[in-house]
A and B are shown apart, each in its own frame.
Chain A
Amino acid sequence: GESVGLHLPTLSVQEGDNSIINCAYSNSASDYFIWYKQESGKGPQFIIDIRSNMDKRQGQRVTVLLNKTVKHLSLQIAATQPGDSAVYFCAESYAGGYQKVTFGTGTKLQVIP
């Protein structure tokens, strides 16, 4: 069945280092993927998205990589800062799943000053 999961529930990173958060998905028909950041007590915040016709997309300090062969998604954060500490989760959807978005349960990123 469909699933979106994260390999690491908690990730600790030294300030200034790069962070990589991974996500696996099982629905090969998924065509749209989003990374969200959720700080404590707040709602999820959109970070970056990517469609299935792309392998890589870059934003400000963030890069999303999509590997459709192994159904894997990753979020890379460059020069991680204390403000990056949050829970990150991916979401996936597909053209045939109107309103159907599957969210992962999240990875907590802890930035060590």
Chain B
Amino acid sequence: IAGITQAPTSQILAAGRRMTLRCTQDMRHNAMYWYRQDLGLGLRLIHYSNTAGTTGKGEVPDGYSVSRANTDDFPLTLASAVPSQTSVYFCASSARGRPGNSPLHFGNGTRLTVT
């Protein structure tokens, strides 16, 4: 089934540790995004990539980094995790470069707890 695969499904991480959340899509979408979802705050954009080889910052990028070496993969790295990064992380893609032009397709998320 075509879509977005995220791994791991959940993770408990000690503060200060490094962690990479994986995201792979098989829809050949150019644009990919990372969001975090926190209760009462809705989805907030962390980083995005309009096409392979390019990335950009969203509204909450601090403490996170991304890379886009190819069309299919868009990993999110927490260099040194802090408790405030406890959240559910969603990877998404869209057929066009702007999420305002076409709907987002989401993965099922990674639930991260930083202790």
Binding site for B on A (CB under 8 A): 4, 31-32, 34, 41-46, 49, 89, 91, 93-95, 97-106
Contacts and interface: CB of A to CB of B under 8 A. Distances in A.
B104 A105 contact: no
A32 B100 contact: yes
A99 B98 contact: yes
B75 interface: no
B92 to A, nearest CB: 8
Given A44-B90, A93-B99, A93-B100, A101 B106 contact: no
Interface in B40-59: 40-45, 48, 56, 58-59
Given A31-B100, A106-B42, 13 more contacts: A32-B100, A43-B109, A44-B106, A49-B103, A93-B98, A93-B99, A94-B100, A99-B56, A99-B99, A99-B100, A100-B45, A100-B100, A103-B42
Nearest to B39: A105
Candidate in A31, A41, A89, A101 with the most chain B CB atoms within 10 angstroms: A101
Contacts of A93: 98-100
Given A41-B108, A99-B56, A99-B58, A46 B103 contact: yes
A49 B105 CA distance: 13
